[in-house]
Amino acid sequence: MKKYQDIRDAAFEANMQLPVLNLVLFTFGNVSAADHSLQVFAIKPSGVAYSELSPEKMVVVDFDGNTVDGELRPSSDTKTHAVLYKNWPEINGIAHTHSMYATSWAQSLRDIPIYGTTHADHLTVDIPCAPPMDDGSINGDYEYETGFQIIDCLTEKQLDYREIEMILVGSHAPFTWGKTAAKAVYNSAVLETIAKMALLTEQINFESQKIKESLIRKHFERKHGPDSYYGQ
Ligand SMILES: [Zn+2]
C-alpha cells in the first residue's frame, strides 16, 4: 500500500545498516520505522537474512502489535517496539541488536559508566541497564513486558526518552531509538563504541574514575546546546 512506502523504505534502509556496521550476526537484530499519524510502524520480518530483505518484505504493524500489511511474520521483538511507540510519541525509529560489547555489559547487569568525552558527546549520564524482569513477566507476554521493562527503568532513574536514546536490557541486549530509524541505528553504533571503550578503560585501569562533571557539560553542550559548534 502506497501510504506505507515511506516507513517501508526507512525500515529497510536502516535494517541494512546493521550488518554494514558490524552490529549483527545472521538474522539477529531488527529496526523499525514508525508513522505516528497512521499509528503504525514497519519492521523487519522474522528470520529473513539481511541479503534477502527488501522494502516490500517489511511488515507493517499497528501500535498493539497487529499486522496490518505484509506477507511475512514480523520480528519476534515486534511487541516491544509497539509498546515503546505507543508510550513515546516523539520517536520514529527503534533498533535492537545483540552487538558484542553492549550485550556484554547487559549480561553483566551494569550501567556503562561515563568515562570520557565520546560518551559525554551523546549523553550526560551512565547508560542505564534495566534489571532482568521477574518470572511472572518472563512467563507472561514476554516481548510486551520487555517494552515496560525499558520504560520503567527510565522512569525509575528519572530519565527522559527524548534525551536518553539507548538502554541495556539486563541479561539480554541493547535497544536504541530516535527521531528516525536511521538515528536509532546511529545510536546503536555509538553505544557499541562507548561499550567497547568502557571495557578497555576498566581493563587498562580497574580504578578508572568517571569523567568530571565540568567536562560532561562542556562536551554535551557544545554538541547539543543553543550555541553548539561541534561538527567533527
Ligand atoms: Zn534480542
CB 154 within 8 A of CB 161: yes
Calpha distance 69→49 (Å, rounded): 20
CB 181 within 8 A of CB 119: no
CB 99 within 8 A of CB 174: yes
Of the chain, the end-to-end C-alpha distance in Å amounts to: 40
CB 181 within 8 A of CB 88: no
Calpha distance 115→74 (Å, rounded): 38
- The torsion angle over the Cα atoms of residues 43, 45, 48 and 50, rounded to 10 degrees, is -10
pLDDT digits (tens, 9 = 90+) for 29-81: 999 999 999 999 999 999 999 999 999 999 999 999 999 999 999 999 999 99
What does each C-alpha distance from 221 to 38, 175, 218 come to in angstroms? Answer: 35, 24, 5
User: Catalytic one among 4, 101, 115, 121?
Assistant: 121
Q: How far is the centre of ligand 1, averaged over its atoms, from the C-alpha of 219 (Å)?
A: 32
In 3D, which of 208, 201, 2 has the Cα closest to residue 118?
201
pLDDT digits (tens, 9 = 90+) for 183-227: 999 999 999 999 999 999 999 999 999 999 999 999 888 887 776
Q: Is 121 a catalytic residue?
A: yes
Segment 75-90 shows an average pLDDT of: 98
Q: How far is the centre of ligand 1, averaged over its atoms, from the C-alpha of 196 (Å)?
A: 19
In 3D, which of 73, 64, 68, 22 has the Cα closest to residue 46?
73
Q: Is 230 a catalytic residue?
A: yes
pTM: 0.95
Give the distance, in angstroms, between the CA of residue 22 and the centroid of all CA atoms in the same chain.
15
